Structure 1
Amino acid sequence: MRLDFFRGLAMFIILLAHVPLDSWALWIPARFGFSDATEIFVFCSGLASSLAFGAAFRDHGWPMGTARIAHRVWQVYWAHVGLVLAVCALLYAIDASGWGAPDKLYIARVPVVPLFEDTGPALLGLLSLRWVPNFFDILPMYLVILAMVPLVMGAYRLAGRGGALGLVAAIWLAAQFNLLDLPSRPWATEIPWFFNPFGWQLVFFTGFAFGMGWVPAPPVSRALFRAAVAVLLISVPFAWFRIHDGLWLPDGWWLQDAIAAGREATQVLWRKTELGLFRWLHFLALAYVFWSLAGPGGARLTQPLRLPAAASGAALAICAGVALITAPWAWVDEIRALAPALDAWLTGVLGEGARSVLGVDLFVPWERQSLVMVLHLCALAPLVWTAIGAGARAWIAGPGWAGFVPVVRKVGTQSLAVFLSSMFLAQVIGWGLDLTGRGLWATGLFNLAGFAALIAVAYAVGWFKSQPWRRPAPAPAPTPAPAPAEAAPRRGAARRSAPQPAE
Structure 2
Amino acid sequence: MTTSGPSLGGPGLGGPRVRDPRLDFFRGVAMLIIFIAHVPNNPWNEYIPARFGWSDATEMFVFCSGFAAAIAFGGTFAKAGFGYGTTRIGYRVWQIYVAHVAMFFFIAALVTAGSMALEGDYIEQLNLGWFLANPAEGLVGLFTLTYVPNYFDILPMYIGALVLIPVIVALSRIHPWAGITFSAALYAANSLYGWGLPAEPFSDREWFFNPLAWQLLFFTGFGLSMGWIAAPAISRPLLWLAGGFVVLSLPVAHWGTAQHFEVLRDLRESIWFWQEKTDFGLLRYAHFLALAYLAVALVKGREHRLLEAWARPIVTVGRNSLPIFLLSMGLARVGGMVLDELGRSVATLALVHLAGIAILIGFAYWCTLLKRQPWRKREAEHAARRAAERERAAARYQQAGVAPAE
Q: Same fold (TM over 0.5)?
A: yes
CA distance, structure 1, for counterparts of residue 366 and residue 235 of structure 2: 41
Using the aligned pairs only, state the percent identity: 42
CA distance, structure 1, for counterparts of residue 235 and residue 131 of structure 2: 53
Q: 2:253 maps to what in 1?
A: 239
Question: Is the CA contact 2:65–2:218 (under 8 Å) kept in the aligned structure 1?
Answer: yes
Q: 1:12 maps to what in 2?
A: 32
Deviation per CA, 1:295-330: give whole Å up to 9, x if none.
14723435xxxxxxxxxxxxxxxxxxxxxxxxxxxx
The reply to whether residue 57 of structure 1 matches residue 77 of structure 2 is yes
SS in 2 for 1:448: helix
SS in 1 for 2:337: helix
CA distance, structure 2, for counterparts of residue 115 and residue 276 of structure 1: 31
**Aligned-residue offset at 1:232:** 0.8
CA distance, structure 2, for counterparts of residue 296 and residue 211 of structure 1: 19
CA distance, structure 1, for counterparts of residue 306 and residue 202 of structure 2: 50
- Given candidates 312, 331, 340, the residue that maps to 1:425 is 331
CA distance, structure 1, for counterparts of residue 282 and residue 239 of structure 2: 20
SS in 2 for 1:67: helix
TM-score (norm 1): 0.71
Most deviating of 198-207 and 104-113: 104-113
CA distance, structure 1, for counterparts of residue 156 and residue 321 of structure 2: 16
**Aligned-residue offset at 1:34:** 0.1
- Given candidates 110, 126, 138, the residue that maps to 1:122 is 138
Question: Is the CA contact 1:245–1:260 (under 8 Å) kept in the aligned structure 2?
Answer: yes
Root-mean-square deviation (CA, aligned residues, Å) is 1.6
CA distance, structure 1, for counterparts of residue 286 and residue 28 of structure 2: 22
Bigger radius of gyration, 1 or 2? 1
Amino acid at match of 2:92: R
**Match runs of 1:89-108 below 5 Å:** 89-96=109-116, 98=117, 100=118, 102=119, 104-108=120-124
CA distance, structure 1, for counterparts of residue 301 and residue 149 of structure 2: 41
**Aligned-residue offset at 1:403:** 2.1
**Aligned-residue offset at 1:25:** 1.2
CA distance, structure 1, for counterparts of residue 102 and residue 68 of structure 2: 24
- Given candidates 97, 105, 115, the residue that maps to 1:85 is 105
SS in 2 for 1:258: helix
Question: Is the CA contact 1:270–1:278 (under 8 Å) kept in the aligned structure 2?
Answer: yes
Deviation per CA, 1:248-281: give whole Å up to 9, x if none.
xxxxxxxx22211111111111000000000000
Greater RCO between the two (CA within 8 Å, min separation 6)?
A: 2
The reply to whether residue 73 of structure 1 matches residue 73 of structure 2 is no
SS in 1 for 2:309: helix
Deviation per CA, 1:52-97: give whole Å up to 9, x if none.
000011111111110000000000000000001000001111222x
Question: Is the CA contact 2:242–2:291 (under 8 Å) kept in the aligned structure 1?
Answer: yes
Amino acid at match of 1:166: T
Question: Is the CA contact 2:41–2:336 (under 8 Å) kept in the aligned structure 1?
Answer: yes
CA distance, structure 1, for counterparts of residue 259 and residue 309 of structure 2: 41
CA distance, structure 2, for counterparts of residue 112 and residue 214 of structure 1: 43
Deviation per CA, 1:358-410: give whole Å up to 9, x if none.
xxxxxxxxxxxxxxxxxxxxxxxxxxxxxxxxxxxxxxxxxxxx322111000
CA distance, structure 1, for counterparts of residue 327 and residue 192 of structure 2: 35
The reply to whether residue 459 of structure 1 matches residue 365 of structure 2 is yes
Amino acid at match of 1:224: L
CA distance, structure 2, for counterparts of residue 425 and residue 53 of structure 1: 30
Indicate how the Cα distance of structure 1 residues 419 and 219 shifts in structure 2: closer, same or farther if over 3 A, else same: same
Q: 2:230 maps to what in 1?
A: 216
Question: Is the CA contact 1:111–1:135 (under 8 Å) kept in the aligned structure 2?
Answer: no
Amino acid at match of 1:11: M
CA distance, structure 1, for counterparts of residue 244 and residue 306 of structure 2: 24
CA distance, structure 2, for counterparts of residue 300 and residue 293 of structure 1: 12
Q: 2:310 maps to what in 1?
A: 404
CA distance, structure 2, for counterparts of residue 187 and residue 260 of structure 1: 33
**Aligned-residue offset at 1:163:** 1.4
Question: Is the CA contact 2:320–2:364 (under 8 Å) kept in the aligned structure 1?
Answer: yes
Q: 2:355 maps to what in 1?
A: 449
**Match runs of 1:454-493 below 5 Å:** 454-471=360-377, 472-474=379-381, 475-476=384-385
- Given candidates 164, 168, 171, the residue that maps to 2:179 is 164
The reply to whether residue 45 of structure 1 matches residue 65 of structure 2 is yes
**Match runs of 1:131-146 below 5 Å:** 131-146=147-162
Question: Is the CA contact 2:30–2:57 (under 8 Å) kept in the aligned structure 1?
Answer: yes
**Match runs of 1:190-269 below 5 Å:** 190-246=204-260, 256-269=261-274
CA distance, structure 1, for counterparts of residue 189 and residue 208 of structure 2: 16
Q: 1:270 maps to what in 2?
A: 275
CA distance, structure 2, for counterparts of residue 281 and residue 163 of structure 1: 22
Mind listing any 5+ residue stretches in structure 1 that lack a counterpart? 247-255, 303-401, 482-503
Amino acid at match of 1:70: G
SS in 2 for 1:130: coil
Amino acid at match of 2:137: P
Indicate how the Cα distance of structure 1 residues 66 and 297 shifts in structure 2: closer, same or farther if over 3 A, else same: farther
Q: 1:334 maps to what in 2?
A: none
CA distance, structure 1, for counterparts of residue 361 and residue 304 of structure 2: 23
SS in 1 for 2:126: coil
SS in 1 for 2:175: helix
Q: 1:366 maps to what in 2?
A: none
CA distance, structure 1, for counterparts of residue 189 and residue 149 of structure 2: 24
Question: Is the CA contact 1:43–1:203 (under 8 Å) kept in the aligned structure 2?
Answer: yes
SS in 2 for 1:160: coil
Question: Is the CA contact 1:69–1:147 (under 8 Å) kept in the aligned structure 2?
Answer: yes
Q: 1:152 maps to what in 2?
A: 168
Question: Is the CA contact 2:25–2:314 (under 8 Å) kept in the aligned structure 1?
Answer: yes
